[in-house]
Amino acid sequence: MILSAPRSAFLPVPFSLSPSLSPCPRPFLPVPIPFSLSMNGPNPMSESSPRRFSGDTLVIASHNRGKVGEIADLLRGHVQTFRSAAELALPEPEETGDSFIANAELKARAAARGGFIALADDSGLAVSALGGQPGIYSARWGGPDRDFWVAMTRVNQELGSNPDRSASFVCALSLAWPDGHCETVEGRITGTLVWPPRGNHGFGYDPIFVPDGYTQTFGELNPALKHAISHRADAFRQLVARCFR
C-alpha cells in the first residue's frame, strides 16, 4: 500500500522578516579591507594614485652632511643627481609643525620652491618613559650648536634610574613638487637605550640606541646593516614603492 502525504504538507511556509522566524538566515558577506603596504605609514590604498618622481635631479632638504649622505645612499639607482639644501644655499625653514610628518612636509615644500623636486625628512628619538620626548625636538635637545653629546647626556639624565629604557626612532619622509604637492610616509624602529654611548658610526643618538634583536648600538653596527634596518630604511621602502617604481 502506498501512503501519500496530506496536501497541506506541500503548501509553502509563509516567509517572515523576523530574524528569529526566518527559515534561512541572511548569509554573512565579508567586506574586503584594503591592504596597507606598511602599518607605520599612510595607507596608499585609501588615497588617490600617488605621484611618481620624474626627472634626474633631487634636492635633499637638509644641511646635515651625515643625513644627506645616508639619504643619497638609500636612493641610488632611482635618482641620477643629488643636490643638498646647503649646496644650493637654501635657508632652513623654522620647524613649526607639531609632528614629524608636518615638519617633513614643511621643509620639503620650502626646498621645492627652488624649482626642483625636493625630499625632506624629519626624524628623532621617542623615549617611552619620557612621554615620547625628545621627539620632534630631538635636535634641539643638543642646544644651539646641535651637539648630540649634549642631547644624549640630557636623555640619560632625564631617565635617571627609570628601568624602562625602551625607545623608538621615527622618520617621516616627504617628497614635494614645486606646485606644493607632497607624498609622505613614516617609518619606525624600536629598541633600547644604553649608557654610556658606544660606537663611532652614524650620527645623532645612534651611539645609545640598540635596535630590538641586536646587541650593538646603531653607532657600532656596520653602516650597511644599519641602513637596511633603520627607521629611515623603513620609510624609504615605503617611499620607493610609492613614488620611484
CA distance 105 to 95: 10
Q: Per-domain residue ranges for the chain?
A: 47-243
pLDDT value at 219 more than 70 = yes
* Mean pLDDT of the 43-48 span: 46
pLDDT value at 112 more than 70 = yes
Residue 147 cell numbers, joined: 651637539
pLDDT at 123: 93
Distance of CA 96 to the CA centre of its chain: 19
Q: What is the Cα gyration radius of the chain?
A: 27
* Mean pLDDT of the 144-149 span: 94
Range from 9-13, 44-48, 50-54 that averages highest in pLDDT: 50-54
pLDDT value at 36 more than 60 = no
* Mean pLDDT of the 127-147 span: 96
169-207 burial, b if ≥16 CB within 10 A, otherwise e?
Answer: bbbbbbbbbeeeebbbbbbbbebebbeebbbebbebbbb
List residues with catalytic annotation: 122
The CATH class, in words, for 47-243 is: alpha beta
CA distance 241 to 245: 6
Classify 101 in phi/psi space as left (phi over 0), alpha (psi -120 to 50) or beta.
Answer: alpha
- Residue percentage of the chain with pLDDT more than 70: 80
Beta bridge partners of 191: 167, 211
